[in-house]
């Protein structure tokens, strides 16, 4: 292996999430900022965020009805 080509390794790099959670991991960067972590992600936290798709579904059904009426 070649000498002096590998980046510096930080065994206790701090990871900070936008939710306020902080933990440490091994990385080549001393500090990492993330938007979503396992504490605030809906899959891991069990809290689902419901996105309002009712408007989209209703608009699709209206368009479908219009096309079926035109075909008849």
CATH number at residue 30: 4.10.80.400
Walk along the chain (72 residues) in steps of 10 and give the mean pLDDT of each run. 89 95 96 92 75 74 86 70
Residues of the domain holding 65: 10-71
The answer to the question of whether 51 is labelled as a binding residue is no
3 part of a folded domain: no
Instruction: State residue 52's pLDDT score.
Output: 62
Predicted pLDDT of residue 2: 84
In this structure, is residue 2 part of a structural domain? Answer: no
DSSP string, 12-66: EEEEEETTS-EEEEEESSSEEEES--TTT-HHHH--------HHHHHHHHHHHHH
Q: 40 a known binding residue?
A: yes
pLDDT (0 to 100) of residue 5: 92
The predicted model scores a pTM of: 0.56
Q: How many domains does the chain have?
A: 1
How many whole angstroms separate alpha carbon 72 and alpha carbon 70? 5
Confidence at residue 24, expressed as pLDDT on a 0 to 100 scale: 97
Residue 45 lies in a domain: yes
- Asked, for residue 35, whether it belongs to a domain, the answer is yes
Query: Binding site annotation covers 43?
Result: no
In a domain, 27, yes or no: yes
Tokens 């930080």 — which residue?
10
Whether residue 19 is annotated as binding a ligand: the answer is yes
């Amino acid at each position: 292996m070649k000498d002096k080509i590998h980046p510096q390794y930080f065994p206790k790099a701090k990871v900070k999430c936008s939710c306020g959670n902080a933990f440490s991991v091994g990385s080549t960067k001393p500090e990492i900022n993330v938007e979503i972590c396992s504490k605030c992600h809906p899959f891991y936290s069990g809290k689902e965020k419901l996105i309002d798709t009712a408007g989209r579904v209703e608009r699709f059904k209206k368009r479908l009805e219009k096309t079926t009426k035109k075909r008849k």
